[in-house]
Amino acid sequence: MSNPGQWNVSEKVSQCVFPRLDTDRFFEDADYNAYICRLVDKNIGGFCIFNGNPEQVEQMIHKLQARTVTPLLMSADFENGLPMRLTEGTDFPHALGMGKLSHESVFKIAQAIAKEASGLGIRWNLAPVADVNTNPDNPVINIRSLGEDAEQVAQHVKSYIEGTQVEKVLACAKHFPGHGDTGKDSHFELPTVIHKLDRLSFIEFEPFREAIKTNVASIMLGHLSVPAIDDSGIPASLSPKVVSILREDLLFRGLIVTDALDMKAITNHYSSEKAAFLALAAGCDIALMPENPESVIKFITKLAEDDVEFHEKVDIAARRIILYKRKFGLIPQYQLLEEGKNLYINHAKMALNYSYEILEKSGVNELIPIPENISFAGFAFVKNDKAFRTASRFFTMLAQATENDCDFAYINTEIGDDEIKEMQKGIKDTGIIIFALFYRGLSAEERDFEMAELNRVMDKIATGKKRIVILFGNPYIKNYLNYDLIVLAYSDSFSSLAASVVMLTGREESLKF
């Protein structure tokens, strides 16, 4: 492994920059492929990987690692499994569902995810989310959080980190100082956390304290304005005062990484060059996913060459990155899926059992399992292509499990009365209507409007019939809905869809706890 003491300034800066890497483009676009290879030649520290299938990812990583002297630290957001970013892998329930399980179960899930990631050469999982979801109207964290209670979240964070790092995969607690009580999504704008420091310390910091005690390898800073810590308006991810709390108050010695610098909470206010510079100047070790990384490296290199104090910060950050690459034995380990089929089969069974354990139901329990002599129809409320595909998968599985050509349709809250009347004609002989909802985070304003319209549509469609509602996501909308029976799945992962089918059809004998 290369020695940072022998690097020039540009090589040190490059080690602290982790750009986005799109697998599909790497194989389909020759110019993009050449651009990624140029970054590797500059001594880039690693990448954050998106899309593609596992075989492609393994092949890409192998090619890039073979090109460099200093091993690349490949990262990805695999909070609930590889399918969060890739086309395949075990799809575990989302974190809010995991929070209903035992600490041992969370450990096993994190370990399984780490094994699958490591098998492809991805040795840094940007998880777990350590935010305490105290705001049910949080539009971005929601089911990505392990729960609403700080102590519960802290203990699950500990288990997730231990399960990850036992496999020599770096874990990452995020998003310090806490993204759980925000009403805005930092992907689109800069949220403000209004709490005073004593409240932040008591609630928001608690899971991060536990993460540090558990020797978490890295902590991600959120794009949040936190006036109680830094009243300048600068985001926490770029704030020296926030870094100081981690280093001096909480005594964290691991890697500090920004949230993705291509998010609008940053790009609405800063150039990519300025944002990356501010992050490293604040004391962050890694500038994650800046736009125009080649320009960023050139810009920061010039500043580091002209400023001895800033150069020293870059040098310390680069050395810390190398320290953790050594500590976690960053020698690529490639295990093609063909060699690990039994591993994936076992993980799939584990995911199904845990997803079933998470399910909660309330209302008229006699409606499930669905009686064989009662026909049913299904409606999925979808707002995007991903939800459309997920809903199709769910109803296809349900039809196969019941051996019933059940009618199902995709609708939204904008459907008109004439369309509803046509639907009513098609389901006039059915006794039960199943509504599958795929909502994630909703602001208070969105929730009030959307739930009113949703109930209006459901009430008309299900007039005179029994109604089962399944929430494949946001559980906090439960109290705003009309239903006879409701099922909380906490996730729209494949395993959660399958577990819901098991519950609806009464085929629990297929499970092994």
Domain boundaries, the chain: 9-338, 359-510
Name the residue among 256, 169, 148, 258 with its Cα closest to residue 212. Answer: 256
Let me know: does 187 contact 263? Beta carbons within 8 Å. yes
Active site residue 405: no
| Chain mean position to CA 121 | 19
| Euclidean distance between CA atoms 118 and 259, whole angstroms | 22
- Residuewise pLDDT in 10s, the chain (513 residues): 468 889 999 999 999 999 999 999 999 999 999 999 999 999 999 999 999 999 999 999 999 999 998 999 999 999 999 999 999 999 999 999 999 999 999 999 999 999 999 999 999 999 999 999 999 988 889 999 999 999 999 999 999 999 999 999 999 999 999 999 998 888 999 999 999 999 999 999 999 999 999 999 999 999 999 999 999 999 999 999 999 999 999 999 999 999 999 999 999 999 999 999 999 999 999 999 999 999 999 999 999 999 999 999 999 999 999 999 999 998 544 444 444 567 778 898 899 999 999 999 999 989 999 988 888 999 998 877 778 889 989 988 888 888 766 778 888 888 888 999 988 888 988 999 999 999 988 888 888 999 999 999 999 999 999 999 999 999 999 999 999 999 999 999 999 999 999 999 987 765 554
Q: State the pTM of this model.
A: 0.89
| Euclidean distance between CA atoms 335 and 258, whole angstroms | 30
| Euclidean distance between CA atoms 162 and 166, whole angstroms | 6
Beta bridge partners of 182: none
Name the residue among 36, 11, 18 with its Cα closest to residue 288. Answer: 18
Backbone angle region of 251, left / alpha / beta, with phi > 0 → left and psi within -120 to 50 → alpha: left
| Chain mean position to CA 247 | 25
Let me know: does 182 contact 175? Beta carbons within 8 Å. no
| Euclidean distance between CA atoms 409 and 36, whole angstroms | 43
4: Cβ–Cβ under 8 A, 6 or more apart, which residues? 12, 15, 315, 318, 319, 322
* Per-residue pLDDT, 337: 46
Residue with tokens 């140029």: 38
Q: Where are the alpha helices (DSSP H) in 193-340?
A: 197-199, 206-213, 240-244, 264-267, 272-282, 293-306, 308-327
Q: What is the 3 state secondary structure string of 257-284?
A: EECCCCCHHHHCCCCHHHHHHHHHHHCC
* Per-residue pLDDT, 383: 76
Residue with tokens 């004439």: 418
Let me know: does 191 contact 265? Beta carbons within 8 Å. yes
Active site residue 22: no
| Euclidean distance between CA atoms 494 and 499, whole angstroms | 9
Active-site option among 77, 181, 259, 315: 259
Dihedral over Cα of 278, 283, 288, 292: its sign: positive
CATH class of the domain whose range is 359-510: alpha beta
| Euclidean distance between CA atoms 447 and 403, whole angstroms | 36
Task: Please name the amino acid found at residue 323.
Answer: L
* Per-residue pLDDT, 340: 59
| Euclidean distance between CA atoms 14 and 72, whole angstroms | 11
The CATH superfamily of 9-338 is Glycoside hydrolase, family 3, N-terminal domain (3.20.20.300)
Active-site option among 62, 187, 269, 311: 187
